[in-house]
A and B are shown apart, each in its own frame.
Chain A
Amino acid sequence: MADHSSEHHGDGHYVKIYLILLGLLIVSILGPELEIQIVTLITAFGVAVIKANLVVSHFMHLNVEKPIIKWILGASVVLMALMWAGVAPDVQNHEGHQWENLAAQAAVERGIEDPEDHAEEEAVDHEGEEVAAAVIGPPPTHGPLPGGYNFTHLVFWTVVGMVAVGTNAVAIILSVGAGLLAFETIKGDESSG
Chain B
Amino acid sequence: MKPIATTRSATGIETGKLAVWWVLASEVVIFGGLLASYVMHRLGHPEWADAAAVTNTTIGAVNTFVLLTSSLTAVLAHQAAERGDGPRAARFLGFTILGALTFIGIKAYEWSYEISHGYTIMSNTFWSFYYTAAGLHALHVIAGAIIMGFVAMDARKNLELHRVELIGIYWHFVDVVWIFLFPLLYIAK
Contact = CB atoms under 8 A, between A and B. Distances in A.
Given A69-B13, A104-B45, A111-B50, A14 B25 contact: no
A51 B179 contact: yes
Interface in B126-178: 161-162, 165, 168-169, 172-173, 175-176
B44 interface: yes
B105 interface: no
B11 interface: yes
Contacts of B162: 1
Interface residues of A, number: 68
B122 interface: no
A141 interface: no
A151 interface: no
Contact of B40 (A29, A73, A91): A91
A3 B13 contact: yes
A188 B28 contact: no
Contacts of B189: 32
Interface of A: 1-3, 5, 8-11, 14-15, 18, 21-22, 25, 28-29, 32, 40, 44-45, 47-48, 51-52, 55-56, 58-60, 65-66, 68-69, 72-73, 75-77, 79-80, 83-84, 87-88, 91-94, 104, 107-108, 110-112, 166, 170, 173-174, 177, 180-181, 183-185, 187-189, 192
Interface of B: 3-5, 7-13, 15, 18-19, 21-22, 24-26, 28-29, 32-33, 36-37, 40-41, 43-48, 50, 57, 61, 64-65, 68-69, 71-72, 74-76, 78-79, 81-82, 125, 161-162, 165, 168-169, 172-173, 175-176, 179-180, 182-183, 187-189
27 contacts: A1-B162, A14-B76, A18-B68, A25-B61, A25-B64, A25-B65, A29-B61, A55-B71, A59-B72, A60-B169, A68-B11, A73-B24, A76-B26, A80-B28, A84-B40, A87-B36, A91-B40, A91-B41, A111-B46, A112-B47, A166-B29, A170-B29, A174-B22, A180-B10, A180-B11, A184-B5, A188-B5
